[in-house]
Amino acid sequence: MQSLHSLLVALTYPPALTAALLVAAALLALTRWRRLALATAVLAIAWSGLLAIPSISDWVRGRIEQQYPPVDETTLPQGDAIVVLGGASHFYWMERKNVSPYELENSRLAAGARAWLAGKAPVVVLSGGGDNGGNEAASEARLMANAIQRLGVPQDVLLLETRSRNTRDNARYTAELAQQHGFDRILLVTSSLHMPRAVLEFAEENVHVVPVPVPENGHREGWRRWVPSRRALWRSGRAIKEMGAMVMARTRN
């Protein structure tokens, strides 16, 4: 089952599915199904070609992101904790000499920091383990903790959840922390693209969340919206992965 899941995840990246379809087309070409082979090859190339166009990629992602558009953190209700889900191994803005959370529109950590600075909850939970061999010091949550302190959030209000390897783990282990610390209402911070699946997983763990969606950078303007790029292809793959993961989560639930 794990191997099948890994295969399906790999195929969400458009070039991977294109390669698989081209192999299938080659096998069909060796038989009498020549027309089907040609149609399969055309479909394979068109799949990646279209999804590499930024305007197409933005449209695909928009089907998900529009469910949870970004919000102004000052308008949020009071919560017991702010939970920020991991999603990066490097924070480019850490290289700056001076940085403010109000400058970082596309940062989950900055959104969490803005919510805390607005007095929306007394505790910030950073959730993320990652592939670190169980080393807490190298966990995603620890990297997040070092970064968010640069944004004005003190160490003594941080609570680290370092075991998660995926969104389901985020929900499961956060639910444990919520029960231990008496958190009833959680302000959940993640990207707009990831939020629908995160809300689904947290609901399955009976955790009441208030979504705090964060936009992702990457939109192009003008004529560049129609020029294929590797970045657009990668962004399309992320959206397709989220769609597939949501289907699997609903089926599992």
The string of pLDDT tens digits covering residues 28-63 is 998 888 899 999 999 999 999 999 999 999 999 999
Checking if the pLDDT of 4 tops 60, the result is no
Per-residue pLDDT tens over the stretch 115-143: 999 999 999 999 998 765 455 666 899 99
User: In terms of C-beta density within 10 A (0-12 exposed, 13-18 middle, 19 or more buried), how is residue 108 classed?
Assistant: buried
The pair phi, psi for residue 184, each rounded to 5°, is -100, -50
**Distance (Å, whole) CA 205 – CA 17:** 33
Q: What is the pLDDT of residue 137?
A: 61
Task: Identify how many contiguous H helices and E strands the chain contains and give both numbers.
Answer: 9, 5
Helix (H) or strand (E) holding 2: helix 2-11
Among 104-113, 129-138, 208-217, which is the least confidently predicted range?
129-138
Per-residue pLDDT tens over the stretch 62-72: 999 999 999 99
Helix (H, G, I), strand (E, B) or coil at 124: strand
Identify whether residues 128 and 172 lie together within a single domain.
Answer: yes
* CATH code for the domain in which residue 175 is found: 3.40.50.620
Identify whether residues 37 and 103 lie together within a single domain.
Answer: no
Checking if the pLDDT of 17 tops 60, the result is yes
Identify whether residues 79 and 204 lie together within a single domain.
Answer: yes
Checking if the pLDDT of 87 tops 70, the result is yes
Cα angle 155, 156, 162 (rounded to 5 degrees) comes to 65
Q: Note whether 213 and 70 are within 8 A (CB).
A: yes
| Residues of the chain above pLDDT 90, percent | 70
Residue with tokens 């809300």: 199
Cα angle 223, 229, 231 (rounded to 5 degrees) comes to 115
Q: Is 83 left (phi over 0), alpha (psi -120 to 50) or beta?
A: beta
Cα distance from N-terminal residue to C-terminal residue, the chain: 17
Checking if the pLDDT of 144 tops 60, the result is yes
The DSSP secondary-structure symbol of 48 reads H
| Domain total in the chain | 2
Identify whether residues 125 and 160 lie together within a single domain.
Answer: yes
Identify whether residues 17 and 115 lie together within a single domain.
Answer: no
Identify whether residues 119 and 94 lie together within a single domain.
Answer: yes
Checking if the pLDDT of 84 tops 90, the result is yes
Identify whether residues 113 and 169 lie together within a single domain.
Answer: yes
Identify whether residues 126 and 20 lie together within a single domain.
Answer: no
Q: What is the pLDDT of residue 139?
A: 86
Closest CA to 206 of 192, 191, 185, 187: 185
More confident position, 48 or 93: 48
Identify whether residues 123 and 235 lie together within a single domain.
Answer: no
Identify whether residues 207 and 234 lie together within a single domain.
Answer: no
**Distance (Å, whole) CA 29 – CA 233:** 28
Per-residue pLDDT tens over the stretch 221-251: 777 888 999 999 999 999 999 998 888 878 7
Checking if the pLDDT of 219 tops 70, the result is no
Q: What is the pLDDT of residue 8?
A: 67
Identify whether residues 208 and 228 lie together within a single domain.
Answer: no
Identify whether residues 118 and 165 lie together within a single domain.
Answer: yes
Q: How would residue 189 be classed by pLDDT, with cut points 50, 70 and 90?
A: very high
Find the domain containing 233 and state its range: 2-65+223-252
Checking if the pLDDT of 2 tops 70, the result is no
HEC string of 63-87 equals HHHCCCCCCCHHHCCCCCEEEEECC
Checking if the pLDDT of 199 tops 80, the result is yes
Q: What is the mean pLDDT of the chain?
A: 89
Q: Note whether 188 and 198 are within 8 A (CB).
A: yes
The DSSP secondary-structure symbol of 166 reads S
